[in-house]
Structures are given as structure tokens and as C-alpha cells.
């Protein structure tokens, strides 16, 4: 088990989001820098590399996760890279931060994905095919059919907040951007007919917006304003009449996820001052007062955790193994403090929420500090908001999953076997990098831009994700790795 650091001592690497946002010329004055510690932390090793056994494999030519400059020069990149995977379908020419799958009450299956990475920059790029959140009829996954394009305020620029509540069939988002944006919350009914979402309400219910969370029962939509420094709970019991029931300021939170009963929140904490220590990493909150709808509710900090390889915490997805609760946590972007650390992803044991511990890490060879400098000439690798880093990971179901899919930006979609939680291993990948002048809506595109939370079609042994430079993909599992989806 790799060494872990507790947040009761000063964090070894605490950084502010502002460094990443300089590239997109947005002001993020309230976000936390990550300070380099005096003593460099011990970093985990790369996860063992995939053994490719699929009939259509096209292997990476460089180290694990890398698309080297030589492949662009030779033209090899045009064929793409795939290991134990195959392309089943592709749709559109852009993508954002979420791909969601939902089955409505009649049995129809749909996909929802945001089409823009940065609004309004991408407006001209995407205008030819439509803006906002794309709705796909996935009855035949080999031929995704676009049935709607949602263009209400939050859907035009949901940033990382787009979520669907499976229990109630409500699609929700808050208006956001890389720093923050005004907190307009949009709610749609997708339970009746997922192909044609119906707008239930659009209202300013939060101070600011960036990321989000959904209580499992679908009664509360949570908003994290990031640079807006706010945490907001919106009661959507009556989705046509949403109401703000809690607002906290001076917190710098990212993705928000929950225990099954909705009473414990797992927060990706970007940097919140608490006494003499600035905490960055995982924060566990008791939000039972909001879940129970008590008067004058308060949230209580249960614990904080950080780790030596931390970059910018994105989100922590809950799952269980043999009844024991864990989190699949992922960091985004790279380290700007000079030590070249890249956070990537990890599994955290949360059985004792007062003392969470890191069990193992999911990393690629391109994430290792020793390899960073030699890779900076690769297209897209040196861009702070792209590069060789993680962004979102997901499991196919929350109970006893054995496989993980991660969007790792310039390294594309990566697949990991977590049958042994202490010793995960890579089992496949799928990557479609492009270059300037190739068939893309974005004329500045370099490499891959895989930043979306992947979705799973378990029955068909498929993963769905989007790439900001080339659109929505249906990826089939090959080489025997689909067996990990069996329950």
C-alpha cells in the first residue's frame, strides 16, 4: 500500500486553480495555489501497462499514455490507438465534460453530453452543428441519432455540472465556466421521453456555478461555485418550483458526491483555510441536516485527506466492495509548483469517514515526474488545461465493480482492472488525437482532449465518452476484458 499523508499536517502540495485558468484568460482570484513543500513527496509508481490482445489493436508507440511528436510527424497518429477496444460509433465533432446514460420509463435509452469545453469561445466552432447539450437516441448504439439540442442558459455552458438523477429522471445543470458563473439552475424531465427532454424550470438559485452533485434520492441538487466560493443546496422536490435551502460561502469546492443515504458528502476540495492549515484534497462533510430538511441547517466537517501526488482534485465517486465503502478519486491538470507531479487517480477507503486512507493509485507512465520534460514537445502536452493528466473516471455500477474507465485528456480513454483494489492494472485504451487542419470544429485543436466522465452500457460491453476535439464515441471492449462487467 503506498504511503499516505494526513491533512493534520501541512499539505505537501497545495496549489491555486488560477495557474490553469491563465491560459483561458479568466480571472480566478479566489482559487487556491498549490504550494510546493520543502521536502518532495514520495510518488506512487505507474500502474502496470495493458497487455493488448484485441483483434483490431493499434498500439501506442511511445511510453504508456504518450502520443509522441514522431507519430504526428510520420502521420501514424491518424490511425488512432486502441488496445482491447474498438470503435463502434462516432457522432459530432466536439465534446465537453460529461457523457450520461439514461433509460426512461418506457425503456428507451439515451445519451446526454455537453458539446462545449469553453463558452463562449467555442460558439463559432460549434455553431454549424448546434450548441448546448446534445441528446442522442441510443436504441442502436452503432448509429446514435441526435433527437434534441438543449440550449437553455445552463445547458449552453454547464461546464462540469451536468448530471442526471436515475431515480427521478431529472437532468440538471448550473451555468458555469472554468472559474465560475452566475448560478442559473436548469431542470429537465427525461423520465417521460428521454429523447425529448422537457424543461421544468430555469432559475437563479445559486450565487455562482461550476460543478455539482445530486443527492441519490433526487430531491436535492447541489452547486459548487469553485472560484465563487459557495456551496448551495437547491430543493427540487417540486422541480417546477425549486428553492434554495442552504448557502455557504468562503469554501472552494469542486465535484460533490454522496453516500447512498445522501447524508454524507464527499467533496473535491480545491483549498479551504481551516486554522493554520490550508486543506486541499478530499473533504468529508456531514450534510444530514440538509437531507433531513432541518431548520437553519449546518454542515459539519468530518475529515480531510490529502496525498503526496496531489494536483487539482476533481471528484470522488463512491462504490462498494463486499459491502465496504470506497471512493474513486481523480485529480485534473498538472502541477504548476515546479515539481512536475500529476495527480491522476486513486482508490480511497472510506469505511471510517473520520480517517479515510489511500489504498492504491491509477497512473500512467506519462504522469511520472521523470518523464515530464521529455514529453513537452508532444502536441497538446504542454497546455495546462490539456496535457497528460487525468480528468474524470467512472465505474459501471456502484456495487462491486471490477473495471474503471478514465478520461485522461491527451492520453484518451483508459481502462483499468480493479479486481484487486490494492493492485489495479491497466487493461485497455482508446485514443483519437488530431492536428491542426484535420477534420475538427476547433481550428486550434492539438492532440486529444478527452475530459468527459465516461458512461457505461453494461449489456453491450461498451463505454461512451466524448473528446473535445472530435466528438462522442461508443467504444466496445475486446480482448476478453468485457468479462469484468459480469456481476
Given this model, what pLDDT does residue 35 score?
32
Contact 208, 228 (CB under 8 A): yes
Give the list of residues 6+ apart from residue 234 with CB closer than 8 angstroms, or none.
185, 205, 206, 220, 221, 222, 223, 242, 243, 244, 245
As a whole number, mean pLDDT of residues 174-184 equals 93
Given this model, what pLDDT does residue 335 score?
56
Given this model, what pLDDT does residue 418 score?
98
The model's pLDDT over 251-302, given as tens digits with 9 standing for 90+, comes to 999 999 999 999 999 999 998 655 555 789 999 999 999 999 999 999 999 9
What is the three-state SS of the chain? CCCCEECCCCCCEEECCHHHHHHHCCCCCCCCCEEECCCCCCCCCCCCCCCCCCCCCECCCCCCCCCCHHHHHHCHHHHCEEECEEEEEEECCCCCCEEEEEECCCCCEEEEEECCCCCCCCHHHHCCCCCCEEEEECCCCCCCEEEEEECCHHHHCCCCCCEEECCCCEEEEECCCCCCEEEEEEEEECCCCCCCCEEEEEEEEEEEECEEEECCCCCEEEEECHHHCEEEEEECCCCCCCEEEEEEECCCEEEEEECCCCCEEEEEEEEEEECCEEEEEEEEEECHHHHCCCCCCCCEEEEEEECCCCCEEEEEEEEEECCEEEEEEEEECECCCCCCCECCEEEEECCCCCCCEEEEEECCHHHCHHHHHHHCCCCCCCCCCCCCCCCEEECCCCECCCEEEEECECCCEEEEECCCCCCCEEEEEEECCECCCCCCCCCCCCECCECCECEEECCCCEEEEEECCCEEEEEEECCCHHHHHCC
The model's pLDDT over 300-338, given as tens digits with 9 standing for 90+, comes to 999 999 998 899 999 999 999 999 999 999 999 865 454
The model's pLDDT over 410-462, given as tens digits with 9 standing for 90+, comes to 999 999 999 999 999 999 999 999 987 666 666 677 899 999 999 999 999 99
Share of the chain above pLDDT 90, in %: 75
Given this model, what pLDDT does residue 339 score?
54
User: How many whole angstroms separate alpha carbon 121 and alpha carbon 404?
Assistant: 32
Confidence of residue 37 (pLDDT cuts 50, 70, 90): very low
**Which triple of cell numbers denotes residue 282?**
478530499
Give the CB-side neighbour count of residue 18, counting CA atoms within 13 A.
13
Given this model, what pLDDT does residue 382 score?
81
Confidence of residue 11 (pLDDT cuts 50, 70, 90): very low
The model's pLDDT over 46-59, given as tens digits with 9 standing for 90+, comes to 999 999 998 899 99
Give the list of residues 6+ apart from residue 411 with CB closer than 8 angstroms, or none.
65, 66, 67, 364, 366, 388, 429, 431, 448, 450
Instruction: Give the phi and the psi of residue 5 in degrees, each rounded to 5.
Output: -120, 140
Given this model, what pLDDT does residue 207 score?
94
Given this model, what pLDDT does residue 131 score?
83
Return the residue matching grid coordinates 476484458: 481
Report the 10 Å Cβ neighbour count for 201. 17
Confidence of residue 10 (pLDDT cuts 50, 70, 90): very low
* 337-351 burial: b if 16+ Cβ within 10 Å, else e: bebbbbbbbbbbbbe
Given this model, what pLDDT does residue 39 score?
41
As a whole number, mean pLDDT of residues 327-351 equals 83
As a whole number, mean pLDDT of residues 73-92 equals 96
Looking at every residue in the chain, the average pLDDT score rounds to 88
Given this model, what pLDDT does residue 275 score?
52
Nearest partner of 375 among 60, 106, 113, judged by Cα:
60
- 13 pLDDT more than 70: no
The model's pLDDT over 223-255, given as tens digits with 9 standing for 90+, comes to 999 999 999 999 999 999 999 999 999 999 999
What radius of gyration do the chain's Cα atoms show?
Answer: 21
Given this model, what pLDDT does residue 454 score?
98
Strands 345-349 and 357-362: antiparallel
Is the entire prediction scored with pTM above 0.85? yes
Given this model, what pLDDT does residue 372 score?
84
Strands 403-407 and 13-15: unpaired
Given this model, what pLDDT does residue 67 score?
96
Amino acid at each position: 500500500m503506498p504511503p499516505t499523508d494526513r491533512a493534520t499536517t501541512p499539505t505537501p502540495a497545495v496549489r491555486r486553480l488560477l495557474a490553469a485558468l491563465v491560459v483561458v484568460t479568466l480571472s480566478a482570484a479566489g482559487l487556491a495555489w498549490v504550494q510546493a513543500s520543502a521536502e518532495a513527496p514520495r510518488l506512487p509508481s505507474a500502474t502496470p501497462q495493458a497487455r493488448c490482445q484485441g483483434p483490431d489493436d493499434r498500439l501506442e508507440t511511445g511510453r504508456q499514455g504518450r502520443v509522441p511528436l514522431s507519430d504526428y510527424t510520420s502521420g501514424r497518429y491518424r490511425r488512432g490507438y486502441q488496445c482491447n477496444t474498438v470503435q463502434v460509433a462516432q457522432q459530432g465533432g466536439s465534446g465537453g465534460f460529461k457523457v450520461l446514460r439514461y433509460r426512461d420509463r418506457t425503456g428507451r435509452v439515451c445519451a446526454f453530453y455537453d458539446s462545449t469545453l469553453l463558452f463562449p469561445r467555442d460558439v463559432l466552432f460549434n455553431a454549424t452543428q448546434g450548441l448546448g447539450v446534445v441528446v442522442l437516441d441510443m436504441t442502436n448504439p452503432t448509429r446514435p441519432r441526435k433527437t434534441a439540442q438543449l440550449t437553455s442558459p445552463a445547458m449552453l455552458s454547464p461546464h462540469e455540472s451536468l448530471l442526471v438523477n436515475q431515480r427521478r429522471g431529472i437532468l440538471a445543470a448550473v451555468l458555469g465556466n472554468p472559474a465560475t458563473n452566475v448560478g442559473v439552475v436548469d431542470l429537465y424531465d427525461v423520465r417521460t421521453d428521454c429523447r425529448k427532454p422537457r424543461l421544468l424550470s430555469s432559475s437563479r438559485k445559486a450565487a455562482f456555478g461550476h460543478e455539482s452533485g445530486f443527492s441519490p434520492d433526487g430531491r436535492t441538487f447541489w452547486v459548487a461555485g469553485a472560484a465563487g466560493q459557495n456551496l448551495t443546496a437547491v430543493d427540487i422536490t417540486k422541480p417546477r418550483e425549486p428553492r434554495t435551502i442552504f448557502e455557504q460561502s468562503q469554501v472552494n469546492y469542486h465535484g460533490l458526491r454522496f453516500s447512498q443515504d445522501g447524508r454524507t458528502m464527499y467533496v473535491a476540495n480545491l483549498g479551504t483555510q481551516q486554522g493554520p492549515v490550508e486543506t486541499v484534497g478530499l473533504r468529508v462533510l456531514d450534510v444530514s441536516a440538509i437531507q433531513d430538511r432541518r431548520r437553519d441547517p449546518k454542515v459539519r466537517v468530518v475529515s480531510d485527506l490529502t496525498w503526496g501526488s496531489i494536483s487539482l482534485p476533481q471528484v470522488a465517486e463512491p462504490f462498494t466492495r463486499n459491502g465496504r465503502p470506497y471512493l474513486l478519486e481523480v485529480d485534473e491538470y498538472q502541477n504548476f509548483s515546479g515539481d512536475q507531479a500529476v495527480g491522476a487517480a486513486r482508490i480511497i477507503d472510506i469505511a471510517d469517514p473520520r480517517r479515510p486512507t489511500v489504498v492504491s493509485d491509477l497512473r500512467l507512465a506519462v504522469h511520472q515526474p521523470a518523464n515530464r520534460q521529455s514529453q513537452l514537445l508532444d502536441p497538446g502536452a504542454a497546455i495546462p488545461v490539456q496535457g497528460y493528466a487525468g480528468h474524470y473516471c467512472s465505474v459501471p455500477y456502484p456495487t462491486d465493480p471490477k473495471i474503471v474507465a478514465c478520461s485522461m485528456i491527451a492520453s484518451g480513454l483508459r481502462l483499468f482492472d480493479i479486481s484487486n483494489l490494492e493492485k489495479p492494472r491497466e487493461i485497455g485504451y482508446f485514443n483519437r488525437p488530431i492536428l491542426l487542419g484535420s477534420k475538427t470544429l476547433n481550428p486550434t485543436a492539438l492532440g486529444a482532449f478527452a475530459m468527459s466522465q465516461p458512461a457505461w452500457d453494461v449489456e453491450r460491453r461498451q463505454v461512451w465518452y466524448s473528446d473535445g476535439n472530435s466528438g462522442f464515441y461508443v467504444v466496445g471492449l475486446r480482448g476478453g476484458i468485457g468479462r469484468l462487467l459480469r456481476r
